Amino acid sequence: AGVFVDGRYRTQVKVQLDLPHFSPVGWSYVKPADWLREMLPAGGKVGFDPWLHTAREIEDLRAGLEGTAIEICETTNFVDSIWPDQPAPPLGPVRVHPLEVAGESAADKRARLGAELTRAGHAAAVLTLPDSIAWLLNIRGTDIPRNPVVHAFAILEAGGHVTLFIAGGKLSDDVRAHLGPDITLRPPEALEPALRTLTGPVRVDRATAPLAVSRILKDAGVAVAWGQDPCILPKARKNPAEIEGMAKAHLRDGAAMVEFLAWFDRAAKGDGLTEVAAVHALEGFRRATNALEDISFETICGSGPNGAIMHYRVTEDSDRPISAGEVVVIDSGGQYLDGTTDITRTVSVGPVDPEVRACFTRVLQGMIGISRLRWPRGVAGAHLDSVARYNLWLAGQDFDHGTGHGVGAYLCVHEGPQRLSRVSDVPLEPGMILSNEPGYYREGAFGIRIENLVVVEEAAPLPGGDAHRKMLSFRTLTFAPIDLRLVDAAVLSAGERNWLNAYHAEVRDRIGPRLSDAAKTWLEEATRAI
């Protein structure tokens, strides 16, 4: 069997797969259709569960197999048939997301999106993404670990009415009152019959909705209008209250991060510091804020060769001591009521090899390059991605992941449609929040990643600039020191050095007053001017 992974998991898959039975396949180099062409005989069949694949995925697969005798057919999920004792669906309680941090009432969102459907000539839209439903209705949940969302489906009508398909046991009286009379509540099993009774055209997102949704509609004679989930772009364009909340969350999280980094430096000088110990300590500092709802993903803490595994998840079995001469990649984040954080710092444990410092400095130059950018409206993430890679490319190096992903506001830490990636054609717009996280990974040796979150804003005009040309820029939300022990200052340009010194001065000003005396003293040295 083939297991398809992108570059982020190229190293990890070799460690975790049962290789005699499963073969890792690099998605960037071999598409599923190409692999199937090679592996299946003429007349072979490929089955898929229409509830687990989108229309676009199956369309791409059909196109890739065109001209072959290979048949693609719907089937039931065979994993379900051999897994009788699988866990029951989660029934975590739904919570109301307060208006003061949401920034817009659910009623206003429904009316705004309903009007957009009307202008497009669509009678309704089927919503299948948990974060779209949570954002639209100003609710949050606990159904997916580390992501405050609820398992549900919804149908948004052009008039603003919503039918929400959700297990009733998740809803308290307060949540039902919040949803109000314009939200009809139905159990999840009522979705298919409800789809069959709709009057079209009904919008379905071919990139995110299960293929089963459009098939049910078409089988019932309901016209399907392909189009983007109407929540996706409005959700990505954060409103002022959401941006303010994200900024507050990052100050709180930044203080916890600095307390951890100061602790880490002290602990690394002794014996017994391990990856697992560092992970537990970092979560402890976040929980000490008394505001943490959850971490935003499983913390990545990879020392030495484990740092080269981009999405490494330490376990008791894989845990290793953190040793002198290594660098450690620490990628973590928190979920707070007012925002979601995601930060990566690579830290040194004593002096490191000059080659590691050279690679770290190139990665830092890429992160600074993105941070300083200005660009005209209409430019997409694909146009900016190479800026982060420029100095790495000059050295014959690169990294196998995008430079940045969108981030939700107390929602999913990975949010679309915006990305900093060579394949992203989505124009960046004010209010969008993204990560800025170039890296470098040498398999079996070390890894490097530096990550801040940034928000897109309208850039102030510059003297001599085109008055008619509206420019955009990034404002950094994340505040924590970058390890100066790994920076070759002689390589940095004056502009890069000025940016780093100004950033560190802002870290001192914003985070310093929130720290313990010991951490504040540590921060003064960690953010010294270079």
Mark whether 127 and 47 lie in a shared domain: no
Tell me which of 231-240, 464-473, 514-523 is least confident.
Answer: 464-473
458 has which bridge partners? 472
Query: Both 209 and 275 in a single domain?
Result: no
Among 27, 54, 81, residue at a domain's last position: 81
Residues 102 and 191 occupy one common structural domain: yes
User: Tens digit of pLDDT for each residue in 334-344?
Assistant: 999 999 999 99
Residue 472 is given by DSSP the state E
Same domain? For 118 and 218 the reply is yes
Q: Which of 166, 199, 233 is the endpoint of a domain? A: 233
Specify the pLDDT at position 67.
Answer: 84
Q: Indicate which CATH number applies to the domain containing 252.
A: 3.90.230.10
C-alpha to C-alpha distances, 262 to 74, 255, 265, 267, 517, nearest whole angstrom: 55, 11, 5, 9, 11
Q: Map tokens 């009057």 to a residue.
A: 199
Say if 530 falls within a structural domain. Answer: no
> If 0-12 CB within 10 Å is exposed, 13-18 middle and 19+ buried, where does residue 182 land?
middle
Report residue 58's pLDDT band, with 50, 70 and 90 as the boundaries: very high
Q: Is residue 90 part of a domain?
A: no
pLDDT at 5: 79
Residue 282 lies in a domain: yes
Q: What percent of the chain has a predicted confidence (pLDDT) above 70?
A: 99
* Residue 45: inside a domain: yes
**Do the domain assignments include residue 188?**
yes
| 278 in the same domain as 353 | yes
Residue 264 and residue 243 in one domain = yes
CB 364 within 8 A of CB 497: no
Q: Which two tokens stand for residue 387?
A: 């800026």
Alpha carbon 482 to its chain centroid, in Å, reads: 22
Number of domains in the chain: 3
Neighbours of 324 (CB within 10 A): 11
Same domain? 268 vs 327: yes
Q: Pick the residue with more confidence: 31 or 222? A: 222
Mean of pLDDT over the chain: 95
- Last residue in a domain, options 233, 263, 278: 233
- Contact between 419 and 405 (Cβ < 8 Å): yes
Q: Same domain for 121 and 202?
A: yes
Nearest to 367 by CA among 492, 250, 259: 492
pLDDT of 30 higher than 80: no
193 is in which domain, residue-wise? 95-233
* In a domain? residue 471: yes
Q: Which residues of 397-418 are buried (b: 16+ CB within 10 A; e: fewer)?
A: bebebbbbbbbbbbbbbbbbbb
Residue 34 tokens read as 């190409």
Whether residue 100 sits in one domain with residue 63: no
* 157-187: pLDDT as tens digits: 999 999 999 999 999 999 999 999 999 999 9
* 116: CATH: 3.40.350.10
Output the pLDDT for position 482: 99
For residues 149 and 109, membership in a common domain is answered with: yes
Region label for 272, one of left (φ > 0), alpha (ψ between -120 and 50) or beta (otherwise): left
Q: Is 253 among the domain residues?
A: yes
